[in-house]
Amino acid sequence: MGVFENSGGDAIAKRILMVDDEAGFSRAIKYALEKEGYEVLTASNGLQGLMTAQKEDIDLLILDVMLPGLDGYEVCNRLRSNPKTSKLPIIMLSAKGQDVDRTTGLTVGANEYISKPVENTTLIARIASWLGES
């Protein structure tokens, strides 16, 4: 999982950007995803996440809602309005678990909204699904 072959038969890891300001949580998720064969980039605030998503070639974005500077809703909204990132799979992963939070996340363009805490196996399964690996 997490790796696909290019036309030359070389294995290439899928790239995931994780945007979360909780360093310990980010490290734990990054470790779990790297064990699955994914390449993981991280950003600790909304602006950094937005800029990285627009600059780097990533396959999926995991986005927290409560971020310093730009919140996750605004980051998602801006990525959806940019032709380069408009189709990027975005999983919002947040401690904000109310229906209104989920509805807002999906309204601004997230493909999926998952509440923290989340089991690694659940998150990995959802990522694989969005990357067409299931």
Q: For 31-50, how does the pLDDT look when each residue is reduced to its tens digit (9 = 90+)? A: 999 999 999 999 999 999 99
Q: pTM score, two decimals?
A: 0.91
The CATH number that applies at residue 84 is: 3.40.50.2300
How confident is the model at residue 133, as a pLDDT? 84
Please state, rounded to an integer, the average pLDDT across all residues of the chain: 93
Looking at the predicted structure, is the pLDDT value of residue 96 above 80? yes
Q: What is the dihedral of CA 132, 88, 26, 3, to 10 degrees?
A: 40
Report the domain count for the chain. Answer: 1
Residue 11: domain span: 3-130
